[in-house]
Structure 1
Amino acid sequence: MKKLLFTAAIFFVATGSALSAERLSVLCGADERWCAEMKTSFEQKSGTRVSMVRKSTGEILAQLRAEKDNPKVDVWWGGTGDLQLQAAEEDLLEKYVSPNKPDLLGWANNFEEISKGRASGIYAGALGFAYNADILRKKGLPAPSCWKDLTNAAYRGEIQIANPASSGTAYTALATLVQLFGEDESFKYFKTLDANINSYTKSGSAPVKAAARGETLIGIAFMHDAVTLKQAGFPLEIVAPCEGTGYEIGAVSIVKGARNLESAKAFVDYALSPEGQATGKKAGQNQVPSNAKSEVPDGAPDISSLKLIDYDFAIYGASDTRNRLLARFATEIKAADSQ
């Protein structure tokens, strides 16, 4: 009987310890492989049990809005920061300044200031497009080098881009072209481009993945996503558009009303540390990390050598600007709401 009671006591202590372990719920807007690597790495580092779900940034923002009065998520990690700026403006995010802030590069600190301390930059990546060199050669088509080349009728039905209503990548493309060409001219551009689009995808990286697999000729996406695929052996040629291009700042933030606030803060600190940012390279990703002490992946595009626009995150991350542009896109651009 004593042995039985002792065994039961040990079982109760072990079970109670497991049930009381720290937990954390994270929505991830980065590549699936990076989501998985970050989950495993942080669990090993902290002992916290992490529930990580991958969604597009538009879907994440929609979920946070829907759960505003009863949040079920603690952290939003990865994906284009424009939508996290909008979430900050809508009071969906908790203010938190990490002790790693002094080690962050200027563009990351500027992003945090725009968010009023509610979101922190974790990586940067430039927008561009990539084409499948094998298909281009077989069809005898010209190689595009500029945004305006993509409206060539030779590419009819040969291009994919995501839907800006669901994808932060595509919204970055929309905002980039508005800043490059002016709003009315950019919408004229998109109307012409629409004739060449075979699909508006939900995910921002899906178009370049389709180009890699030979399912479309050209995919508009962030250049680092195309680099990762090219390193894997796919026949992609990556283009930094001649007119200039915009860029993203991927971000991390704590959801307002997070149930596991201290664990959420620890996750943000880890995401901004060199060790946490190294998970990107381990997962085969090629974004430029925000911590000055982090190692830059070998395949990361040299942002300093690209013709980047002075992307205005304050204006194009604001809800009124984003909502207006998305409404106009849905109204004026054919098939803008298709998936």
Structure 2
Amino acid sequence: MPKGLNRAALTAVGLVAFAGAASADELVMYCSVQQSWCEATAAAFTADTGVDVAMQRKDTGAALAQIRAEASNPQADVWWGGSGDAHIQAASEDLTEAYESPNIDQLQDWAIEQYETADHKTVGIYSGVLGWGYNTEFFDRMGLKPPLAWSDLENPDYEGEIQVANPNTSGTAYTALATLVQLYGEDEAFEFLKRIDDNISEYTQSGTAGIRAAALGETGIGIAFLHDVIQQAAAGFPVKAVAPSDGTGYEIGSMSIIANAPDPELAKQFYDWALTAKAQSRALEAGAYQIQANKAVAPPPEAPKLEDTKLIDYDFAKYGSAETRSHLLKRWDDEIGSQR
């Protein structure tokens, strides 16, 4: 068993737990989307192919850190999901390997662009718009106006009422950091982050923790991808999604085959399967409201329409590079994280 793995974190129903070396017909997967979708995807792959899956769910930054730590002795075959910036960084460090799937031509242009940006070492599998969700009951009770633009988050009435993740561990939070830098310029972005720091109650480890807290009324606002907000609303919680009116970034969730994987042929089999319309159409059944990459899969009706959202021209190559990512994370640690 790889060091540091928590058995309780592994799926228990219909999946094979990490217990000693993987069997000859077992795919080992690190998964960086919500737990329900991770489990549903692993179970569907087993149902369709007969191949067992050992799956561990990890936030994007944590998955990248583990893959990097295991580079001399990889323990997993494939990394499925999570913000594309981290997948591009993994590609630049040769932690993942190129693969030309016969199903690439089934994908949206933005997914193929991700694939080409990373020299075929990662591929887009879904997209999601960055924004936040707010608890409508809390805002009504407090008589507050909801934030509609990034600049609104500076409102002193929101003191201690915003949660966002730490960009070192969360792909959501790193996308937010990179978005603000591209909107305002680096220095002004960090000044903005300092101005809203008093309004941040906690920098969580998980990118979905803030919106879960907002859904439960534990905080007023959670910065998140809008599909995570919609998931909470669909479950009956009093949250409403906001795409910032002054412009916002987005993610291209990605998939990568880990370099020198224990079973590269199983990794390729999963990769091909995961790009199909049949596989991607199961996302909504698992409560996943991301926009799928396969052109034959219609977006969920609840998902934000990309054409109606003010999106920035997000530079995935630059902000996924090891140099830029490391620089921004160090500056965040020095100027924001260390001040807590």
TM-score, structure 2 normalization: 0.92
Conservation of the 8 A alpha-carbon contact between 1:286 and 1:301: no
* Partner residue of 1:224 out of 204, 227, 252: 227
**Structure-2 change in CA distance of 1:137 and 1:119 (3 Å):** same
Q: Quick one: distance in 1 between partners of 2:277 and 2:286?
A: 15
Q: Which residue of 182, 186, 202 maps to 1:183?
A: 186
**Correspondent of 2:65 among 62, 66, 70:** 62
Provide the residue aligned with 2:9 in structure 1: none
Q: How far is the alpha carbon of 1:36 from its aligned partner?
A: 0.5
Contact 1:21–1:48 (8 Å) recurs in 2: no
For residues 32 and 250 of structure 2, the distance between their equivalents in structure 1, rounded to whole angstroms, comes to: 16
**How has the CA–CA distance of structure 1 residues 195 and 20 changed in structure 2, closer, same or farther, with 3 Å as cutoff?**
closer
Query: CA, structure 1 residues 20+224, in 2 after alignment: closer, same or farther (shift >3 Å)?
Result: closer
Q: 1:88 matched to which residue of 2? A: 91
Task: Provide the residue aligned with 2:308 in structure 1.
Answer: 305
Task: Indicate the residue corresponding to 1:36 in structure 2.
Answer: 39
| Structure 2 residue 198 is the aligned partner of structure 1 residue 209 | no
In structure 1, C-alpha distance between the alignment counterparts of 2:300 and 2:242, rounded to whole Å: 19
Note the alpha carbon deviations across 1:244-264, whole angstroms, 9 max, x for none.
100000001100001111110
Q: In the superposition, relative to structure 1, how do residues 93 and 334 fare at CA in structure 2: closer, same or farther (>3 Å)?
A: closer
d(CA) in 2 for partners of 1:105, 1:152: 39
- Residues 1:324 and 2:327 are matched in the alignment: yes
Matched, 1:192 2:200: no
Give 1:56-135 correspondences, 5 Å limit. 56-135=59-138
SS of 2:81's partner is strand
Q: Which amino acid aligns with 2:239?
A: L
- For residues 19-55 of structure 1, the C-alpha deviation after alignment (integer angstroms, 9 at most, x for no partner) is 9651110000000000000010000111111001101
CA contact (8 A) 1:191 1:334 kept: no
Is 1:287 paired with 2:290? Answer: yes
1:10 matched to which residue of 2? Answer: none
Shift of 1:228: 1.0
Q: Kindly state the Cα deviation for residue 182 of structure 1 after the two structures are TM-superposed.
A: 0.7
1:25 aligned residue = 28
C-alpha distance in structure 1 between counterparts of 2:296 and 2:266, whole Å: 23
2:150 counterpart of 1:147: yes
Q: Scaled by the length of structure 1, what TM-score is found?
A: 0.92
Using the alignment, how far apart are the partners of 2:38 and 2:160 within structure 1? 32
CA-atom RMSD in angstroms: 1.2
Runs of 4+ with >6 A deviation:
none
- The residue type paired with residue 143 of structure 2 is G
Letter in 1 for 2:222: G
Deviations 1:77-104 (A, max 9, x none): 0010100000000000011011111111
Q: Could you tell me whether the CA contact under 8 Å between 1:158 and 1:197 is conserved in 2?
A: yes
State whether residues 95 and 118 of structure 1, in contact with CA within 8 Å, keep that contact through their aligned partners in structure 2.
Answer: yes
Pairing 1:41-56 to 2, within 5 Å after superposition: 41-56=44-59
Quote the residue 1:242 is aligned against: 245
**Structure 2: how far apart are the matches of 1:206 and 1:335?**
21
Partner Cα separation in structure 2 for residue 39 and residue 101 of structure 1: 21
Show structure 1 runs of 5+ residues with no match: 1-18
Q: CA deviation at 1:138?
A: 1.0
Per-residue deviation, 1:334: 4.7
Q: What's the secondary structure of 2:297's corresponding residue? A: coil
Task: Output the CA distance in 1 between the equivalents of 2:300 and 2:102.
Answer: 24
Question: Which structure 2 residue ranges, 5 or more long, are not aligned?
Answer: 1-21
Residue 237 (structure 1) shift: 1.4
Q: Give the secondary structure class of the aligned counterpart of 1:143.
A: coil
Measured after TM superposition, the shift of residue 293 of structure 1 is 1.2
CA contact (8 A) 1:112 1:121 kept: yes
The letter for the 2-side match of 1:104 is L
2:167 aligned with 1:164: yes
Distance 1:161 1:193 in 2: 11
Q: Is the partner of 2:82 in helix, strand or coil?
A: strand
Q: Structure 1 residues 232 and 278, CA, compared in 2 at 3 Å: closer, same or farther?
A: same
State which of 244, 248, 256 in structure 2 corresponds to 1:253.
256
Q: CA deviation at 1:335?
A: 5.1
* Amino acid aligned to 1:148: S
Q: Tell me the amino acid that sits aligned with residue 109 of structure 1.
A: I
Task: Find the residue that maps to 2:115 and give its secondary structure.
Answer: helix
Tell me how far apart the structure 2 counterparts of residues 131 and 181 of structure 1 sit (CA, whole Å).
24
Q: CA deviation at 1:292?
A: 0.5
